[in-house]
Amino acid sequence: AQKVTQAQTEISVVEKEDVTLDCVYETRDTTYYLFWYKQPPSGELVFLIRRNSFDEQNEISGRYSWNFQKSTSSFNFTITASQVVDSAVYFCALSGATDSWGKLQFGAGTQVVVTP
Amino acid sequence: GAGVSQSPSNKVTEKGKDVELRCDPISGHTALYWYRQSLGQGLEFLIYFQGNSAPDKSGLPSDRFSAERTGGSVSTLTIQRTQQEDSAVYLCASSPPDRVAQYFGPGTRLLVL
């Protein structure tokens, strides 16, 4: 069975602080995909990134960066110099590579609150 | 381009009534997915359609739930004899042929009284 754990329920920061969201996953698949989605107050889930299990390179996109460590089954997400617009719920998700690809297994989400 | 659209955006119904929720995927996307988001259960997979293959219905919570996809495009999720525990936001997503990611619509908020 697949499982995604986001242990942090809510993180509050002041603007310009960095914030790191933890994601730990469990899977028996040897090939799988990891995702991060953002859900702002408007409610629509916004795709941020996909990472393949065979690619452990870290990735940076603007103020966002992701650290994938297969050894610890973690796929953490850092927002650098946070802004008020980053306030949202962030979900980590996992899918298999074959017949289970279509079934995203989501974590419970982490609410990020950025205050001015 | 246009994203995934869902209708209605909100639906209030009485317990025992049937409801239909509609999803229009992004043009050119070949796969379509339904999820449910509720306070108690988080985000749950319901069903997905991939091309002409039989849909994966493994996430449907009961036989009161069904979905169809007509012409490989628009999909309808039907809930028969609604119960209060069906109250949730129903999210639809679609993905392109390379299946890089699932792109979500705004959802339908269903309230069963």
Contact in structure between B47 and B56 (CB atoms under 8 Å): yes
Residue A106 pLDDT > 70, yes or no? yes
Contact in structure between B59 and B49 (CB atoms under 8 Å): no
Please name every residue paired with A114 in a beta bridge, in sequence order, or none if there are none: A13
- B23 three-state secondary structure: strand
Residue A102 pLDDT > 90, yes or no? no
Query: Can you point out the beta strands (E) in A1-116?
Result: 3-5, 10-14, 19-21, 24-26, 32-39, 46-52, 59-61, 64-69, 74-79, 88-96, 105-106, 110-115
The answer to whether B59 contacts A103, with C-beta atoms less than 8 Å apart, is yes
Would the CA dihedral through A37, A100, B51, B70 be positive or negative?
A: negative
Is the previous residue joined to B97 through a cis bond, with omega within 30 degrees of 0? no
Q: What is the dihedral of CA B36, B33, A103, A22, to 10 degrees?
A: -60
> Shortest Cα distance from A23 to chain B (angstroms)?
16
Alpha helices in A9-107, H assignment, sequence order: none
| Mean predicted confidence (pLDDT) in B44-64 | 92
B91 closest CB neighbour out of A45, A50, A103 = A45
| Mean predicted confidence (pLDDT) in A5-21 | 97
The answer to whether A43 contacts B100, with C-beta atoms less than 8 Å apart, is no
In the stretch 7-66 of chain A, residues with CB closer than 8 A to chain B read 35, 37, 42-47, 50
Query: What pLDDT, on a 0 to 100 scale, did the predictor assign at position B21?
Result: 98
- What confidence category does residue A101 fall into, taking pLDDT thresholds of 50, 70 and 90? confident
Residue A115 pLDDT > 80, yes or no? yes
The answer to whether B106 contacts A99, with C-beta atoms less than 8 Å apart, is no
Query: What pLDDT, on a 0 to 100 scale, did the predictor assign at position A95?
Result: 93
Query: What pLDDT, on a 0 to 100 scale, did the predictor assign at position B100?
Result: 84
Cα angle, residue B7 at apex, residues B4 and B8 outer, rounded to 5° = 150
- What confidence category does residue A99 fall into, taking pLDDT thresholds of 50, 70 and 90? low
Most B CBs within 10 Å: which of A4, A33, A44, A106, as the mutation test of the B interface?
A: A44
Q: How far apart are the first and last CA of chain B?
A: 37
Residue B69 pLDDT > 80, yes or no? yes
Residue B64 pLDDT > 90, yes or no? yes
Here the tokens at position B62 are 């009961």
> Shortest Cα distance from B45 to chain A (angstroms)?
6
- What is the spatial distance between Cα B68 and Cα B86, in angstroms, rounded to a whole number? 19
